[in-house]
Amino acid sequence: MSDEEEYYDEDGGGGDDYEYEGDDNGGGGYDDGGQEYGNQENYGNYDNQGGGYDNNQQYGNEQYGGGGGGGYDQEYQQNEYQGGYDDQEQYEEEQEESEEEEDEPEPEEHEEYADESHETNEDEEEEEEDDGYTQVAAHTNQASDGTEGGNNESHGLGSMIKGAMDGFGGGGFDGVVGQIGSLISQGGGDSGGGLSNIFSSGGMESIVGNLISSASHQFFGINPATGAIIGAIAGNIIFQMGGQNNSLSSIGKVVLDNIISGKFKRDITPFTPGGTVPGLGFQQQFQPINFQQERQRCLDQRILFEDPQFPANDSSLYYKTRPDEPIIWKRPGEIYENPQLIVGEKSRFDVKQGALGDCWLLAAVANLTLRDELFYRVVPPDQSFTENYAGIFHFQFWRYGQWVDVVIDDRLPTVDGRLYYMRSQENNEFWSALLEKAYAKLYGGYEHLDGGTTAEALEDFTGGLTEFFDLEKADKSTTLAMLVRGMQMGSLFGCSIDADENVKEAQLTNGLVRGHAYSITAIQTVNTYGGQIPLLRIRNPWGNSKEWNGPWSDKSAEWNQVDPHQREQMGVNFAKDGEFWMSFDDFMHEFTQMECCNLSADVMDEISEMTGVEVHDKQKHQWVEKSEDGEWNSRQGTAGGCQNNDTYCNNPQYGTLFQVPYDSVEQDGKCTVIAAVLQKYRREMRSKNLDNLPIGFSVYRSEGGGGALQDTVGKKPIARTKVFINMREVTVRFRVPPGQYIIVPCTFDAHDDASFLLRVFSNAEFQTARLR
């Protein structure tokens, strides 16, 4: 597999020169097997005096992992997130360089060998000369504090942030705190009296529950008491495989009823392994499988489904490294007497990692379970081990811009009669093991899932754009501002504490659990003896007594400072229900990771169709999303590489026209934009020794006429990825006045072929068009 590479650019006006840094991690993420990695290549800073690259640049500790082999020779920090968040964290230094234009050099290879380090050496980080936009590649956990002009301090944000403090009156942290109360009073609160949204607050479950209790939703296809499908065939009896019905929530029952009755029919494409990738010989080999038709065929013929696309043999397990144990494939009914797809209650929140190095996937799965309206988009409730059971299941994922339906059989890898890979805490619950199998099929096999980032899987589960925050390095003001803006835009927030390598989900003395996924459900401010302070409402999905026991926890003395009427408005409930309040300062001190999953209006529309809840009425501000498919093709002359190459302007270019936002959350007439470039098919092609390419992009203001860039002389990007890195996706968030802009995605090296997807989220309507 190729090296994980980072490429740094120097700010040289119109002619930027880039450099890179590489390390082999098998596709990113954390190493679950404790392996060491080598062959790190550092391509140092451009030497303005000598016209070449200065190989003496040192980069700070980086936090990586993967399951791929190879090796780290750069200093790095490796943590195993068992059940927490497993995204890459890279702490790189950026040295000040002069902005003199020089001849474009070829990078000179330089290898640096260093021991592993589990400490982040922040003293090594240096500031780079500021260009007005402080930017880093997605998931490198650095950003500016959002102030005008910015700085290059490491703030722990997963993308460039400029203008995060816009609309808060220029008062810094106190300015953000001061506006939270007014935003709540303007209708941004929830039933718990905090700044939230319909997704973060968990309000969808109560709304759907009210629809059922008031008979606003009429059930036609299922029994509302049990969730049983009316007229279903008892497949478990036919095949004598045991089994129990699903235990569905209110949302699950409504979604199932809408599917059975035909009220909701998802626009989805049956997944077929392969597909055509130009020039790489990755061709389609199978016919699509329609889940409903194939299940009916199996029931009619009284046969259990066997998936021809993903057979129960070694080809589905590995392409390089055989499992350590002999694998026997078994159906759930052969493992446990009464298997159940979804046990329900709180058990489904507890998912365990198996032998595979995919804790990055486990973290995303943990987040998925926090919201039923998202969970049932991936795990359709129209399947079980009893009703219409025929050994066939299906799961639905977002794949490169469209949703696909992945059909599998239920034969699972076991060792000594136990599941070998992912499993649920309840031994008879199988949705997690089957989901992992479907996800492995999506990418070509189980070993293809070894090493990755949580952001990658979260996006495949939601179709959203995900941004990560390293709270140990994040700026307090920017983090709170991003939380406020995210709540206003309908985004979801999760958080965790770094896992203990030796103890899975170790509980701390303060009541919090390491390596465990929490969700942030609301923001509130309270007046105390020391002044106004912000609080966060946080939820442990276990829903039990494992809660924060520090200041502002249940029955803590701090609540005596709060007016009883406000406590009532906030819905403060001293119950062992897994939900608790804590101060924002304590949150920043105790938690180490936070992610923001931004959902577009298209996602919200589909959730409305699934549940019958008019999300638009509940969520005023929404992201508008557009996407464009593209390709870097050397034969067609569109693989121009970065600005170090004369062919840079030959890259695909995309014009955007951003309009004045109507009633934006900042209320300043500017547009908030999140742009992302995602390279396709690279994980699937690991078995062909093809891994992610180092990619990036720049955004330029259009100078009129709407045409493509012919050159970049004297043209400075208004936003860009300063680090070229071989991750699946790189992301930049920025704020600009309405107008025309040009986005230029590129690889670091010219003549590198790949397909990509450009996604743009904006807080107002906009247009995109391919310019070249």
Q: Is 527 a catalytic residue?
A: no
How many whole angstroms separate alpha carbon 501 and alpha carbon 79? 7
Block residue for tokens 């203990």: 500
Indicate which residue of 139, 155, 516, 621 is catalytic.
516
Indicate which residue of 359, 596, 671, 746 is catalytic.
359
- Strand ranges (DSSP E) for 578-706? 579-583, 593-598, 624-632, 654-658, 671-679, 695-701
What is the DSSP code (8-state) at residue 185? I
Neighbours of 564 (CB within 10 A): 10
Q: Residue 67 in 3-state DSSP?
A: coil
Residue 722 gets the label, from left (phi > 0), alpha (psi -120 to 50) or beta, of: alpha
Q: Do residues 648 and 639 lie in contact, with contact meaning Cβ atoms separated by under 8 Å?
A: no
CB contact burial 475-486 (16+ within 10 A = b; e otherwise): bbbbbbbbbbbb
Strands 492-496 and 518-528: antiparallel
Question: Partners of 423 in the beta sheet?
Answer: 352
What is the DSSP code (8-state) at residue 560? G
Euclidean distance between the first and the last CA atom of the chain, given in angstroms as a whole number: 32
How many whole angstroms separate alpha carbon 108 and alpha carbon 52? 8
Q: Do residues 318 and 324 lie in contact, with contact meaning Cβ atoms separated by under 8 Å?
A: no
DSSP codes, 373-439:
HHHHHHS-SS--SSBT-SSEEEEEEEETTEEEEEEEES-EEEETTEESS-EESSTTB-HHHHHHHHH
Indicate which residue of 236, 540, 598, 763 is catalytic.
540
Instruction: Give me the phi and psi of 190, to 5 degrees please.
Output: -125, -170
Q: For the chain, how long is the longest CA-to-CA vector?
A: 80
How many whole angstroms separate alpha carbon 524 and alpha carbon 195? 6
Q: How far is CA 765 from CA 164, 602, 673, in A?
A: 20, 13, 11
Q: Which helix (H) or strand (E) holds 21?
A: strand 17-23
Secondary-structure breakdown of the chain: helix, strand, coil percentages, each rounded to the nearest 5: 20, 25, 55
Q: What's the distance, CA 51 to chain centroid?
A: 40
Q: Is 540 a catalytic residue?
A: yes
How many whole angstroms separate alpha carbon 521 and alpha carbon 536? 8
How many whole angstroms separate alpha carbon 371 and alpha carbon 387? 25
The set of residues, in sequence order, having a beta carbon less than 8 Å from that of 708 and lying 6+ positions away, is 649, 653, 655, 742, 771, 772
- Strand ranges (DSSP E) for 138-274? 269-270
Q: Which helix (H) or strand (E) holds 512?
A: none
Q: Is 751 a catalytic residue?
A: no
Please list the active-site residues.
359, 516, 540
